Amino acid sequence: MKIKDIISNNKVTVSFEVFPPKQWDKVESTKQTIAELAKFSPSFMSVTYGAAGTTSGYTTEIANAVKDNGITPLAHLTCMTSTRDKIHSVVNELKSNGIENILALRGDIPKDFVFPDKQYYTYASQLVEEIHSLGDFCVGGACYPEIHPESENRVTDIAHLKEKVDCGLDFLTTQMFFDNKVFYNFREMCAIKGIDVPLVAGIMPITNVNLIERTVALAGCTLPKKFNKMVERFGSNSEAMKQAGIIYAMEQIVDLLSNGVNNIHIYTMNKPDIAGKITQGLTEIINE
Ligand code: FAD
């Protein structure tokens, strides 16, 4: 099923993000994780592709596992470090596996990356057009409520986002954010600029302090006082921090739903217990 059809019917959707393993011998255990996550009936599951420009890994393999569990997969694909032939081969592989949803991304510029003589893709917008030329895909893209870290300012960031959407995006998934006001401002900016595709709000449950440095700082997110107070109070007690982080994410979701945001994407970090606690704790709210 196409994700644009899943998210367009005014019902609440809760989807999950997972990442594939780096090594082949971990594929089976990741598949077990997928099966556990699938028990919570996410609306769809997205599978990341490499990271920081590293190898493509086992995205198709894991996306197939998502499909085998009866859940619609969304395969991420980055283009920055790829040739056109490589992109064509991955897209054709997805097509032949019946995967019809792709999140088209530029990818981060790897450290010490030397631009080759022939740089095939500089921006995700080029990949969006390329994917459409290769088949009947539903294509999503990334967006940044706090602007992309490389962008000079909000004006140019939103202008480039509009160009990307006009290349044929069906929806946008946001970078994580911890202050819903940031998202609401971004949503208004999108409306002003005529960006009218559905926005899927990305929520990252912060269940241990290491995640803050590893992920949040990397993504360039600002942390509100309420969040910092939580970490100050519970950060040194791992179980308390885990519980507080789950509740913080749930509060964010309840507030988003109360403010007309219907599509929530949980960055699960491959942790079924955390994704499960959030979705199980919100069943009446999600199915209301
Ligand atoms: P773009 O949309 O190409 O934007 C990149 C920068 O270029 C922005 O600053 C933009 O304003 C600017 N820009 C765009 N067009 C132009 C133009 N015409 N002229 C000048 N400037 C322009 N990374 C991975 O490696 N694997 C993943 O699976 C992955 N999944 C992600 C999922 C989500 C939901 C998000 C939010 C990010 C994900 N990332 C992933 C990270 C992503 O690859 C990086 O944030 C990357 O730096 C930007 O990718 P993009 O697709 O947003 O790029």
Sequence spans of domains, the chain: 3-286
Instruction: Give the DSSP letter of residue 20.
Output: -
What is the model's pTM? 0.97
What integer pLDDT is reported at residue 55 of this predicted model?
Answer: 52
If one residue of 22, 56, 123 were mutated to test the ligand 1 pocket, choosing by the most ligand atoms within 8 A of its CB, it would be 123
Q: What is the pLDDT of residues 58-79, one digit of tens each?
A: 999 999 999 999 999 999 999 9
How many angstroms is it from 29 CA to the middle of ligand 1? 29
What integer pLDDT is reported at residue 53 of this predicted model?
Answer: 43
Nearest protein Cα to ligand 1, atom 37: 142
Which H helix or E strand runs over 34?
Answer: helix 27-38
Q: CA-CA distance, 35 to 244, in Å (whole number)?
A: 26
What is the CATH topology of the domain spanning 3-286?
TIM Barrel (3.20.20)
Put residue 201 in one of left, alpha, beta given phi > 0 → left and psi -120 to 50 → alpha: beta
What integer pLDDT is reported at residue 57 of this predicted model?
Answer: 75
pLDDT < 70 regions, the chain: 51-56
Nearest protein Cα to ligand 1, atom 49: 106
How many angstroms is it from 96 CA to the middle of ligand 1? 26
How many angstroms is it from 154 CA to the middle of ligand 1? 15
What integer pLDDT is reported at residue 215 of this predicted model?
Answer: 83
What integer pLDDT is reported at residue 75 of this predicted model?
Answer: 98
Sign of CA dihedral 213, 216, 221, 226: negative
What integer pLDDT is reported at residue 56 of this predicted model?
Answer: 64
